[in-house]
Amino acid sequence: MKDKPTGAALIAETVRHLPERPGVYRYYDDAGDLLYVGKARNLRARVASYARPTGHSTRIAMMIRQVARIEITTTATEAEALLLEANLIKRLKPRFNILLRDDKSFPYILIAHDHAAPRLTKHRGARRLPGKYFGPFANAGAVNRAIAAMQKAFLLRTCSDAVYANRSRPCLLHQIRRCAAPCTGEVSLEEYAALVKQAEDFLSGRSKKVQAELTHQMQEAAQRLDYERAAVLRDRLAAMRHVTQGQGVNPRGFESADVFAIVQDGGLSCIQAFFFRNWQNWGNRAYFPRAEDGRPPQDVLAAFLAQFYDAHPIPPLILLSHEVAERDLLQEALSSRAGHRVRIITPQRGEKRQFVQMALDNAQETLAQRLADTRAQRKLLQGVADLFGLPKPPLRIEVYDNSHLMGTNPVSAMIVASPEGFMRAHYRTFNMRDAKAERGDDYAMMREVLRRRFARLKGKDGGAGSDESFPNWPDLVLIDGGAGQLRAALEVAEELGINGVTFVGIAKGPDRDAGEETFHFADGRTYKLSPRDPVLYYLQRLRDEAHRFAVGAQRRRRGKAARASALDDIPGIGPARKKALLAAFGSLRGVARAEVVELATVEGISERLAQQIYDHFH
């Protein structure tokens, strides 16, 4: 039987059957893993270019040799192909594409209109709540600072609806002039609505109008000798000026835009993004997309933009530091997605160029810091390799820790570190299933979590080792514990036939003092590092991060169990009545403190059931 062709031969054979239409092509290896996703105006012509014997970069030539299957999807236009390509790359993360990493959703300020007294809050994710959204902000810190300033300027509430419903007197925020306290009628709902309107105008870019109105009101209050009211307005105006002055450099020539600048050095690419909305600077964020060496900055920037705007709102103006290829096509695709015209320009002079230069300067500084951190990290990882006898610095380190409270609600946690730092997207928690593990037996817990983790890995790719830039298999596994925990881990490794992974136990000192850790090796040796050794500090950080993550997961599980059982154990309390009780009293503690008469006022709770609830808690 003739072997099926692969690589360039397969591509050349497939080309004959491809249509001359726009679309997306996908290359897979013989294991079925996705290697590369690309888009084309003419699928036949584009895919045929990969069948040439020369003219490819080393990385693409390596990719071509691995191609064992080709799939295509045709589209109506090249712009549709561009959007589909970006979506597939972002979702499937092919090994040989430029990848946007750390693509978390941006936070927004939400003024929620699902209540008579709208609430000011931070929001991430889908926009399901009715209200007005303002953003994106570059990070949660920027939103938190803005909300704190908005509280001073507009006195909007930030409490939950349940807390609002159960206030009998104004809270501390009202006492320190951060909230108008509509919950207790300190202001009428009509007066509060006026504050909400001012806040929305301010966030929409009409700050001068709002400040003029408040200045006029302050002057009128002073003329009436109402100095207390004038002082409140004065403080609100000062808070508004703090917001606008704290925005840094604000644009005058455009209302809303995103600015992207890219710099490259040391094999890394750094893209600095600035976000301007409603004439205000709402922060910046740095990205480090994964790209092969030698890719020009304009290519990396173009690939980054298509993936970035797959999930983020698109402003009418995008300013770039480099002219990207197929700019018109990208404009067409983004305009189609946004539902409005989008312009992409690379300014050479004027105010827009000043903002691009600001982004370039920030990108340069951020990349220099990353390179310095990377060099320090490489030195530390080389020290780790030397300490544990690894053939090379580890690319993936996994750390495991167990947490339980007197044997209850046991949870095991895994954290992951790489040369770039903690990889939080790879963190995992494990609820115990084994009977011994469920009782908080540390050794049983360690056996179960490692058995589940590595059995899943072996089922996925058949064994350790990966040529990906960040592998699935760890080079080093650190166990928080001594010889017993390490022995449990080694039993699992032998049982599953795991090779090429180094297991080490980290035991705390006799008084759990930092710097007294003992390292347990698989061959029975133990070793201590100098308390001032940088490698020890690094390993302590890994161990402490695993402990923090495990304890947090255990507390969440314990709290969830407590919340579930306290009301679920009462006959007659189902999901609807439990929800009504928590909404009425704000928390489980509020339900427990309520009197029978108060409980009976909740919809669905009879006097008899109210007495049962009261008796349960007392």
More confident residue, 463 or 488: 488
Tell which of 509, 525, 559 closes a domain.
559
Residues 332, 462 within the same domain: no
Averaged pLDDT for residues 324-345: 89
Helix axes 189-203, 140-154, angle to 10 degrees: 140
Residues 577, 542 within the same domain: no
What's the CATH code of the domain at 603?
1.10.150.20
**pTM for this predicted structure:** 0.59
Ranges 147-151, 189-193, 197-201, 563-567, most confident: 189-193
Mean per-residue pLDDT of the chain: 82
Q: Of the given ranges (170-184, 242-256, 588-602), which has the lowest mean pLDDT? A: 242-256
Is 377 part of a structural domain of the chain? no
More confident residue, 86 or 251: 86
Is 98 part of a structural domain of the chain? no
Averaged pLDDT for residues 11-17: 86
The span from the CA of 487 to the CA of 479, in Å, is 10
The pLDDT, as a whole number, for residue 2 is: 53
HSE-up of residue 326 (Cα within 13 Å, Cβ side): 19
As a whole-number percent, the residues of the chain with pLDDT over 70 amount to 89
More confident residue, 461 or 195: 195
The span from the CA of 492 to the CA of 446, in Å, is 9
Paired tokens of 51 = 């069948």
Paired tokens of 260 = 């992207």
Tell which of 509, 535, 559 closes a domain.
559
State pLDDT tens for residues 90-118. 788 888 887 776 656 678 888 988 888 99
The pLDDT, as a whole number, for residue 398 is: 94
Is 385 part of a structural domain of the chain? no
The pLDDT, as a whole number, for residue 463 is: 45
The pLDDT, as a whole number, for residue 345 is: 92
Residues 210, 263 within the same domain: no
Residues 262, 346 within the same domain: yes
Q: How confident is the model at residue 466 (pLDDT cuts 50, 70, 90)?
A: very low
Residues 213, 122 within the same domain: yes
Residues 529, 465 within the same domain: yes
Q: How confident is the model at residue 346 (pLDDT cuts 50, 70, 90)?
A: very high
Residues 547, 585 within the same domain: no
For Cα atoms 536, 541, 547, give the angle at the middle one, nearest 5 degrees. 125
Residue 467 above 50 pLDDT?
no
The span from the CA of 527 to the CA of 511, in Å, is 18
Residue 514 above 70 pLDDT?
no
Is 201 part of a structural domain of the chain? yes
Residue linked to tokens 């979506």: 87
Q: For the purposes of burial, counting CB atoms within 10 Å of the CB of 119, is it exposed (0-12), middle (13-18) or buried (19 or more)?
A: buried
Instruction: List, as one string, the DSSP characters of 135-182.
Output: ---SSHHHHHHHHHHHHHHH----S-HHHHHT-SS--HHHHTTS---G
The pLDDT, as a whole number, for residue 464 is: 45
What's the CATH code of the domain at 75?
3.40.1440.10
* Domain count within the chain: 5
Residue 478 above 90 pLDDT?
yes
State pLDDT tens for residues 372-416. 777 788 888 999 999 999 999 999 999 998 886 655 667 888 999
Residues 236, 161 within the same domain: yes
Is 124 part of a structural domain of the chain? yes
Paired tokens of 392 = 């090379």
More confident residue, 568 or 201: 201
Residues 551, 600 within the same domain: no
The pLDDT, as a whole number, for residue 386 is: 92
The gap between the terminal CA atoms of the chain, to the nearest Å, is: 80
- Domain residue limits at 29: 7-92
The pLDDT, as a whole number, for residue 435 is: 64
More confident residue, 116 or 241: 116
More confident residue, 373 or 166: 166
Q: Classify the C-alpha dihedral 179-182-183-184 as positive or negative.
A: positive
Residues 426, 348 within the same domain: no
Q: How confident is the model at residue 439 (pLDDT cuts 50, 70, 90)?
A: low
Residues 86, 13 within the same domain: yes
Tell which of 522, 538, 559 closes a domain.
559
The span from the CA of 51 to the CA of 16, in Å, is 12
Is 383 part of a structural domain of the chain? no
The pLDDT, as a whole number, for residue 477 is: 93
Is 225 part of a structural domain of the chain? yes
Partnered with residue 518 across adjacent β-strands are: 507
State pLDDT tens for residues 140-156. 777 787 788 788 878 88
Q: 397-405 and 476-480: which strand pairing? A: parallel
Residues 406, 359 within the same domain: no
What's the CATH code of the domain at 530?
3.30.420.340
Is 387 part of a structural domain of the chain? no
Q: Residue 325 carries which DSSP code?
A: T
Averaged pLDDT for residues 305-309: 87
Residue 291 above 90 pLDDT?
no
